[in-house]
Every structure is written in C-alpha cells, then in structure tokens.
Amino acid sequence: MKTISENRCFGGVQGVYSHPSQATGTEMTFGLFLPEGAEEGPVPVLWYLSGLTCTHENAMTKAGAQAWAAEAGIALVFPDTSPRGEGVANDDAYDLGQGAGFYVNATQNPWAPHFRMWDYVTDELPSLLFGAFPLAEGAQAITGHSMGGHGALTIAMSFPGRFRSVSAFAPICNPTGSDWGRKQFSAYLGPDEAAWAAHDSSLLMKKYGFDGPMLIDQGTADQFIDLLKPEALASAMAERRQGGTLRMQKGYDHSYYFVQTFMPDHIAFHSEALRG
Amino acid sequence: MKTISENRCFGGVQGVYSHPSQATGTEMTFGLFLPEGAEEGPVPVLWYLSGLTCTHENAMTKAGAQAWAAEAGIALVFPDTSPRGEGVANDDAYDLGQGAGFYVNATQNPWAPHFRMWDYVTDELPSLLFGAFPLAEGAQAITGHSMGGHGALTIAMSFPGRFRSVSAFAPICNPTGSDWGRKQFSAYLGPDEAAWAAHDSSLLMKKYGFDGPMLIDQGTADQFIDLLKPEALASAMAERRQGGTLRMQKGYDHSYYFVQTFMPDHIAFHSEALRG
C-alpha cells in the first residue's frame, strides 16, 4: 500500500492511499479519514460510496463529512467507483465503464476482467483496511450518493449483520426499471435479468429488508429523480414494514450542495447506531 | 355554545365545549387547549383529528400533546369523530356510524341527515372557533391519528393555503383500496367510486400534493397496518416529488403509546411552520 497524501483535518488525518487490487487487477486508490481518537484504539467506520463520474476524491473534498465525523469520532472510507487506467475497458458515455462501476462484478466482456467493484468494496478493501488501520470491524455503517446510494443499500441488505445502519443520498433505487441501471446491468451482467435482481435495492427491500435503522434523503428538485425512482423504494420500505425514514427534501437537487446540507443528520444518525 | 369543563393545564386551559351544529343537526362537543399566551392575542392552532371509536376526549387525555403545545404557544382543537345521540343512525360495527364519521359528507341514507363531518370540521367548527376564541386563522396546521390522519391529509390537500403544515400518525392512506374505507364509503357515499376519490389521500397526493411541509409516522408493528396501506402514500409522495418525511417507526403499534412517543416531534414540526 502506498501513501499518496496525508493531511491534518479537524484534528484527525485525511489520507489517500493506493494499492494493487486482486479483485480488479488494477491499482486502486481510496480516501480514509481517521478522527483524532484513532491513535488510542479502533474507531467506528462509515463507508461512503460515490456516484457516477466520481473518484475517491469528490466526496472527500465536497461532501463536508469530516467536520461531523471528527466530532462523532467516526472514520470515513471513500473508495473509488471503478477500476481505472490503460488496459481497463471504457466507454464514451459518462455512465458506463470507468467512473461507473455500479458496485457489481461484471460477468460480460470487455468488462469482466476488471469491473469487480462488488468484491472490491465488500471483501478486499475491508480486509485491507481492518488489517492496516485502527478501525473497529464490529462497528461499521454505510452510506452513499446516487450510484453510491444504490451501492450502500444493496451491500447493506446483502450482508446482514455487517452494518449497524444504512443511509443514502438520492440513491438509484430501482436500477432494473431505470435507464440508470438497465443499460449498465445489460453491459456488465448480460441480458438475463434474473442476475440483476441482487443489485436492485427496491427488490432486495421487498425480499430481505435491513435489520437496523435506515435513512434516505431525496431532493424534490433533483434533475435525475425520474432515473432514481424513489417511489419504488418508498413503496417497498412501507410494504416490507421496514423501520426507516424517507425524507423528500423540498427544492434540493442532486448536487453535493444537497449532500453536504444533510450530511450532519446522516453522521448523527450513524453515530447513534455505531455508539449504541 | 356551552362550556362543559375548563381545567388549568400547563399554564393554559383545557376546555370542553358543546354547541348545536347546523352541519350535523346535532349537539356537537369539542376540546380546545389554549396555551398561556392566548390572553395576550391570537395564537396558532393545530387541529387534531381522532380515529375510529374516539370522541373529542381520547386524544385530549391520552395523546400527551398539551405539554408540548404549551411550550410552543400553540392551541389544540380536538373535534369529535361523528354526530351522536338518539335519532342519529348507527351500526353495530365499531367502524361504521357513530365514532366513525370518516370526515365525509354522507349522501346515502340512513347516514345523510347527520353524518356531515367534512362540513363540520372544515367549515362550521372553524367559523365558530375563530369567532369565539383568540385563535389566529392565518396560522393553522393539522394532524390526526388513523381515521383522523386520513381526515387531516385529505382536508389539508383539499384546502390549499389554509394549513401551513400537515402531519399524521398511522393514517388510513388509501381507503378506496382498503376495508377501512370501502365499507364506509359504500355506506356513506354510495356505490359510485368516483365520489370516493376526493377522500383518499394517496389519490389526492398524486393529483394535487400539499404545498407545505408534511410528516408521517407509522409504526412497523401496527396491528392495522394492512388496512392503513402506508405503501400507497409513500409511493404517491415520492412520485409526486412531494416535500415531506415518512418515518417507519420500528416496533411501534397503533396505540396512543405510539402517538404520544412522537407527539413532541409533530408539535415541533408544526411549530416551525406556524411560527415561520
């Protein structure tokens, strides 16, 4: 593992690190914020999964999460959203290929060799992090924005017991029924839609739900809301009788201004679950 | 208007009054809590509509609202849920007839002569209250529980501009698709389902929405949740891009223990809208 940078930040350290990944077969970069208390022993961890076009860096610099995480004594992990580099397949569209891994393991070419973000985020990166940093494996929570909200929700429901709480900012809620999803799942997973269901949070909600608190924020003026389909998840949560809160935030769009506005609430929400 | 009782309560007065109603053709009773500041000038008002089997009294004694309303300087109105008395039609079932007015104007016999709770709550009682008590007509909000949540939501959406905010505890969300609704609308409104749509908050949400903040709490262990159909309203709110919060409260049932637990949040929510 290489240290790319470490900066003092709210009394803790915002680091950026890279490492060769077995899952993706590429060098992967991630951000990690460690709060002040981390020198004295393992701290709880909040995973933040980013959206389309993002690297590890966008949320790290624009989500305004470190201030509140520092106060709450929580670490933040910012993984990248796809493998990158020469020799890694790509597409001219912003929503397929590099920057658009969708948190799945691709089974179709040309994506299959490197686009294994599910394994990377759920298996390889956790092993690396809990081995190398003072992070409490028993106190994890997960959140994300847009495609990253999709990742957070699907991963949380697929690993019962791993995350104490899950939240999402404007998540892609029903990718099997949206152009943000159908296109990518066709490309990465192939035409058999049965394989897609494991990566659709509205379908997972109906089938499994999440055993812990859940918080979703969605802006009503989100320019991508027709692609996000919050109504599918809203309905599924209510049908499932899932404990959780869905907030339709009037006038907010899809940007990081929206994310940073409600970040204090999300950190407080996870902090309560992680400290409980 | 007759004063039935007045009790000092959190520095204000909890009163119970009755009056002959033109809308229902009966004597109607209501509760009104006036906070301490009311002597000095009109105070904001929060309407609380009650559920099946309730009179004006249940929420007044069991919802625990006065403590928070006193702190916030807000008046509370507790109307009855139906006309009552000899000569008023009734049914052996708890969910039809007296105690089960459903906040509609009945057009069918034997209900039509007296069961006009829509007119009573939206027209006659407001006129009487704003004429007789120091209440600010320009600062109204509305909430309710179960059948009363249905009433609060449908009334709020049917009188744009009248209520600054609306909330509900475990509302009947989709009566046109539930045994809590179809039975009563058949009886009160007749077989033409077109007349029912104006009294279904999920249908009104899709068509009109609400121009103000909205808060819904629903217990996940609510024994009546299959009749309440929160999924219909959840989906309609998200589809409409309605600003608002829906909280699925884990482990809570349909009782006043649930209502009183989240009452402080609802009063704070309305207080913000009423004072803004």
The conformation of residue A60, written as its DSSP 8-state character, comes to H
Give the number of other Cβ atoms within 10 Å of residue B128's Cβ.
17
Measured between CA atoms, the residue of chain B closest to residue A247 is B245
pLDDT band at residue B276, thresholds of 50, 70 and 90?
Answer: confident
Contact B238 A246 (CB under 8 A): yes
Exposure of A156 by Cβ count < 10 A (0-12 exposed, 13-18 middle, 19+ buried)? Answer: buried
Per DSSP, the three-state class of A224 is: coil
Contact A245 B246 (CB under 8 A): yes
> What is the interface pTM, i.e. ipTM, of the complex?
0.77
Whether A215 and A269 have beta carbons less than 8 Å apart is answered as: yes
Measured between CA atoms, the residue of chain B closest to residue A249 is B243
Which residue shows structure tokens 């658009």?
A100
Helix count (H) and strand count (E) of chain A?
Answer: 10, 9
Per DSSP, the three-state class of A122 is: helix
Return the sign of the alpha-carbon dihedral for residues A217, B44, B249, B199.
negative
Q: What residues pair up with B33 in beta bridges, in sequence order?
A: B14, B76
% of chain B beyond a pLDDT of 70: 100
pLDDT 10s digits, B69-91: 999 999 999 999 999 999 999 99
Exposure of B56 by Cβ count < 10 A (0-12 exposed, 13-18 middle, 19+ buried)? Answer: buried
**Who among B225, B235, B243 is closest to A234 (CB)?**
B235
> What is the Cα–Cα distance from A164 to B59, expressed in whole angstroms?
36
Return the sign of the alpha-carbon dihedral for residues A272, A199, A80, A264.
negative
| Chain A environment of B245 (Cβ under 8 Å) | 245-248
Whether B78 and B129 have beta carbons less than 8 Å apart is answered as: no
Q: What token pair was written down for B111?
A: 């209900």
- Min Cα distance B39 → chain A (Å) is 36
**Who among A235, A244, A247 is closest to B235 (CB)?**
A235
Whether B135 and B125 have beta carbons less than 8 Å apart is answered as: no
- Min Cα distance A246 → chain B (Å) is 5
| Chain A environment of B213 (Cβ under 8 Å) | 250
A and B: number of Cβ contacts within 8 A: 74
Measured between CA atoms, the residue of chain B closest to residue A220 is B241
Contact B241 A235 (CB under 8 A): no
**Residue numbers of B annotated as active site:** 146, 222, 254
Q: What token pair was written down for B56?
A: 């004006």
Q: What token pair was written down for A40?
A: 């004295």
Nearest CA-CA partner of A145 in A206, A222, A251, A67: A222
SS3 content of chain A, % helix, strand, coil (to 5): 40, 25, 35
Measured between CA atoms, the residue of chain A closest to residue B239 is A231
- What ranges make up the beta strands (E) of chain B? 2-9, 12-20, 27-34, 43-49, 75-79, 135-144, 163-169, 214-219, 244-249
Contact A241 B248 (CB under 8 A): yes
pLDDT 10s digits, A144-179: 999 999 999 999 999 999 999 999 999 999 999 999
Contact B251 A243 (CB under 8 A): yes
Exposure of B199 by Cβ count < 10 A (0-12 exposed, 13-18 middle, 19+ buried)? Answer: buried
The conformation of residue B55, written as its DSSP 8-state character, comes to -
> What is the Cα–Cα distance from B210 to B30, expressed in whole angstroms?
27
- Min Cα distance A249 → chain B (Å) is 5
Per DSSP, the three-state class of B51 is: coil
**Who among B235, B244, B248 is closest to A242 (CB)?**
B248
pLDDT of residue A267: 98
**B193: Cβ–Cβ under 8 A, 6 or more apart, which residues?**
B176, B185
Within chain A, which residues score under 50 in pLDDT? Answer: none
Measured between CA atoms, the residue of chain B closest to residue A217 is B245
| Chain B environment of A233 (Cβ under 8 Å) | 238
pLDDT at B137 over 80: yes
pLDDT band at residue B171, thresholds of 50, 70 and 90?
Answer: very high
> What is the Cα–Cα distance from A86 to B217, expressed in whole angstroms?
51
**What pTM, to 2 d.p., does this model score?**
0.87
Which residue shows structure tokens 């989500």?
A63
**B195: Cβ–Cβ under 8 A, 6 or more apart, which residues?**
B107, B185, B189
Contact B235 A238 (CB under 8 A): yes
> What is the Cα–Cα distance from B199 to B202, expressed in whole angstroms?
9
β-pair type (A27-34, A12-20): antiparallel
- Min Cα distance A43 → chain B (Å) is 27
Return the sign of the alpha-carbon dihedral for residues B222, B261, A207, A259.
positive
How does B59-91 read in b/e, with b if 16+ C-beta sit within 10 Å?
bbeebbbbebbbbbbbbbbbbbbbbbeeebbbb
pLDDT 10s digits, A37-80: 898 999 999 999 999 999 999 999 999 999 999 999 999 999 99
The conformation of residue B175, written as its DSSP 8-state character, comes to G
Using beta carbons and an 8 Å cutoff, which residues of B are at the interface with A?
213, 218, 220-221, 225, 230-239, 241-251
